[in-house]
Structure 1
Amino acid sequence: MKTPIKNSTPSSLAFKIKRFLQRQAVKTQQNLTLILIGFAMTLLGIGLVMGGEFLVNKPLHQELVAFAGVVIIAIGCLLAIIGYISMSFLRIFYVITRDDEDPKV
């Protein structure tokens, strides 16, 4: 027999996560900034990979520069994905889960 799900109290972990996600969903400017920084870092990483291939002479240095570029690309993509998810899916989550009571400003 399943136990009934209790309502979230303000001190529970689920409530805290819900509030954090709701707060993150309404930070549109911060989320757009994450997307743009991620895009810029991705372009920088691509530039490093291309520059390492054509501008660096020693093979070891080429590989190190290319590896640094790949790491920067990965970080940039991760930031852009976080910003995109915050702008789209968390916004939907906010609309679905917000309380219809008077908001405290």
Structure 2
Amino acid sequence: MKLKQRLIRMSENSPQNFRRVVIGTLIFFGGAGMLMWAEGATHLEPLRQELMALLALIMIGIGASLALLGYLGLSVFRIIKFLDDKDDDALS
């Protein structure tokens, strides 16, 4: 029950969820740009290229997760709240 209340509370804060989507998207595309740069960075040693690519993949993962969390807060959690409110009204 605590998780459900937390998700509902999260869905009520639209500006914060939108901010998560935007920041997550920026981190994601920053990581994607870094990955493309690391692929073509022939002036770097191979080990450094691989470490840059690893850092870029980590950034992509963090950005995608953050954007997904924000998107879910904007859409899916609101649907859950809407359906839950209908169930409460039907019982009354």
Confirm or deny a common fold (TM above 0.5). yes
Aligned residue in 2 for 1:91: 78
Residue by residue, what CA displacement relative to the aligned partner does 1:35-74 show, whole Å, maximum 9, x if unpaired?
1111000111011111212234211110000110001001
How many correspondences in the alignment?
Answer: 86
Segments of 4+ in structure 1 off by > 4 A?
Answer: none
CA–CA separation in structure 2 for the residues paired with 1:49 and 1:19:
39
The amino acid that maps onto 1:70 is: L
SS in 2 for 1:96: helix
The amino acid that maps onto 2:52 is: V
1:64 aligns with 2:51: yes
Higher helix share: 2
Point out where structure 2 has 5 or more consecutive residues left out of the alignment.
none
Match of 1:48 among 13, 28, 34: 34
Scaled by the length of structure 2, the TM-score of the pair is 0.84
Scaled by the length of structure 1, the TM-score of the pair is 0.75
Greater RCO (CA < 8 Å, at least 6 residues apart): 2
Residue 18 of structure 1 and its aligned partner are, at CA, apart by: 2.1
In percent, how many aligned pairs have the same letter? 35
Residue 78 of structure 1 and its aligned partner are, at CA, apart by: 0.6
